[in-house]
Structure 1
Amino acid sequence: MKHVPDSAASITVEGKTGINEKITFLLNPYDEHAVTEAAKIKASSADTEVVAVCLGKAAAENTLRSAMAMGADRSILIETDQYHDSIFTARALAAAIRSDGRPWMVFTGKESIDSEGMQTQFRLAQHLGLPVATNVIKIDADSGGVTVECEREAGTIDVFRMSAPCVIGAGKGLNSPNYPTFPDIVKSRKKPVKRINLTELAIDPPAAGMQILELVPAVEQHTPKALTGSASDIAAQIVDILKNEAKVI
């Protein structure tokens, strides 16, 4: 799971690399599909447990509570006060997962809505030594393995057969998120959250890394342009703008 700023929030840059965190944070929307699918599989599989894992600040417990309200049985929070790229994040998640036991399936979202790196699931799979598929829109699991359908550009569908355990990056088409009811939220408050300080995992620092040098607010500049003439003239101007300026046709 990832603890991300609400995309509808008004985000203010502080300093060069930070934001004002007095805004709403929530469960990454693609991770909602991941936890929903995990809970769905649990409902049809005996002796199955859903564990939500997150690397983040102490406030990320709220996101884990959301995951548990949606069906996770318990959670692990790897606490850190620093930003970590996907290279390090994957190492931390893999270490926490290994310390907790051998997984059957590891679900992630296909990307996070804040950094949109789309790399963590692949790096995580590499550290765990597991096969991986992303933007998954359909899953069929059986005793022999897992068959997944992955959506690519222009609606192309790839079908893969993987052995289990495996890592699956959930796409939007996988399901409709199972948003919790009030009783679900109340029950989630009693579910356990195991806190692990990042230093306890003794992770070897990677040789490579990514660093945020500066955050700059996106400024949208609109230049209104009046279209005049007859209806056919205006239509021709619109087509010209879409073709030669917007380049969408």
Structure 2
Amino acid sequence: MKVLVAVKRVVDYNVKVRVKNDGSGVDLTNVKMSINPFDEIAVEEAVRLKEAGKVDEVVLVSIGSAKSEETLRTGLAMGADRGILVNTDDLAVEPLAVAKILQKVTEKEQPSLVILGKQAIDDDCNQTGQMLSALMNWPQGTFASEVALDDTQVTVTREVDGGLQTVKLSLPAVVTTDLRLNEPRFASLPNIMKAKKKPVDKLTPAELGLGEGDIKPRLEIVQTQEPAKRQAGIKVVTVAELVDKLKNEAGVL
């Protein structure tokens, strides 16, 4: 059984994002980039399934510039077998375009399961997995906090507003990961060295049969603004003072 995992290169979650002076976007100059945390969880889950003997091969795919190969190498160091880089240069590829590219890669690789992070921390769209499922006409299990795989189906425990929901999906299927699914491992130095020799195929959207209209951005960023800074709080001495301020100043009582 083969599992395909999509990974994205994003600004590291520990970095404080800065907006460009002209408001045209986020300043990426000398900013640390890393694998999207939800995608890292997806890689970890695929590797665990392989270690459990339920999966034969884990294939990673990343869409972006040539720098995204670093992201693939991170996943390969965690235990994935090979990678695929679909080079879109510096074009800002939107979720639908990503889903179309993943559709072509999925048709080419014929995996039994596709695992993605539920969203990327740069745009927080939470759309790609669902769009890929629709394009492939495959069942989907989103926000997975537990995954159990056998030869013909995958059981997904997913987080919903009311608690937990368990669904059984016939393979092939699409699963998107939530934070509580697992805790990704740290790659060891020997595995990092081995990852440098693992194969990474390089493709373009055109080689996958996609035209410019399929990946051209449909949205235009008009302006980017930093969120307003939070005002400092105040301290109160007594409960009566607290109630007075909530009633007369905050207006919540």
Shorter-chain TM-score: which interval? 0.7 to 0.9
Specify the alignment match of 2:144 in structure 1: 136
Q: CA deviation at 1:46?
A: 6.0
Q: Which residue does the alignment assign to 1:145? A: 153
- Which amino acid in the other structure matches residue 104 of structure 1? S
Bigger drift between 27-36 and 138-147 goes to 138-147
Select the residue among 13, 17, 21 that pairs with 1:11. 17
- The amino acid across from 1:87 in the alignment is L
Q: Which residue of structure 1 lines up, in the alignment, with residue 123 of structure 2?
A: 115
Partner of 1:60: 68
Q: Structure 2 vs 1, CA of residues 22 and 192 (structure 1 numbering), >3 Å: closer, same or farther?
A: same
Counterpart of 1:35, as a letter, is: V
Q: Deviations over 1:187-219 (max 9, x none)?
A: 111111111123322315359933333222223
TM-score, scaled to structure 1: 0.87
Contact 1:147 1:161 (C-alpha < 8 Å) held by counterparts: yes
Compared with structure 1, are the counterparts of its residues 47 and 38 closer, same or farther at alpha carbon in structure 2 (3 Å cutoff)? Answer: closer
Tell me the amino acid that sits aligned with residue 91 of structure 2. Q
CA distance in 1, matches of 2:8, 2:238: 50
2:76 partner letter:
M
The Cα offsets for residues 12-50 of structure 1, whole Å up to 9 and x where unpaired, read as: 333514532421111100111101110011112266110
Residues 102, 70 of structure 1: alpha-carbon distance in 2 compared, 3 angstrom cutoff: same
Structure-1 separation of matches of 2:13 and 2:54: 37
For the residues of structure 1 that align with 2:175 and 2:28, how far apart are their CA atoms?
A: 32
206-215 vs 11-20, which moves further: 206-215
**Residues paired across the two proteins, number:** 241
Does 1:171 pair with 2:201? no
Q: Helix, strand or coil: the match of 1:13?
A: coil
User: What is the one-letter code of the residue matched to 1:122?
Assistant: Q
Give me the CA root mean square deviation. 2.5
CA contact (8 A) 1:135 1:150 kept: yes
Letter in 2 for 1:93: L
* Per-residue Cα deviation, 1:149-170 (whole angstroms, up to 9, x for no partner): 101125x111111101100001
Tell me, yes or no, if the aligned pair for 1:3 and 1:26 is still in contact at 8 Å.
yes
For residue 185 of structure 2, give the secondary structure of its aligned residue in structure 1.
coil
Give the AA of the match of 2:200.
V
Residues 59-208 of structure 1 mapped to structure 2, 5 A cutoff: 59-80=67-88, 81-99=90-108, 101-153=109-161, 156-204=163-211, 205-206=213-214
Deviation track 1:122-174 (CA, whole Å, cap 9, x = no partner) reads 111122221111110111211231111101125x1111111011000011111
Question: Contact (CA 8 Å) 1:85, 1:211: kept in 2 or not?
Answer: no
Q: CA deviation at 1:83?
A: 0.2
Q: Which moved more, 1:208-217 or 1:120-129?
A: 208-217
1:202, 1:12 → 2: CA distance? 37
What letter is aligned with 2:32? T
Q: Partner of 2:219 in structure 1? A: 210
Question: Aligned partners of 2:137, 2:243: CA distance in 1, in Å?
Answer: 57
Q: Secondary structure at the match of 1:159?
A: strand
Structure 1 residue ranges without an equivalent (≥5)? none
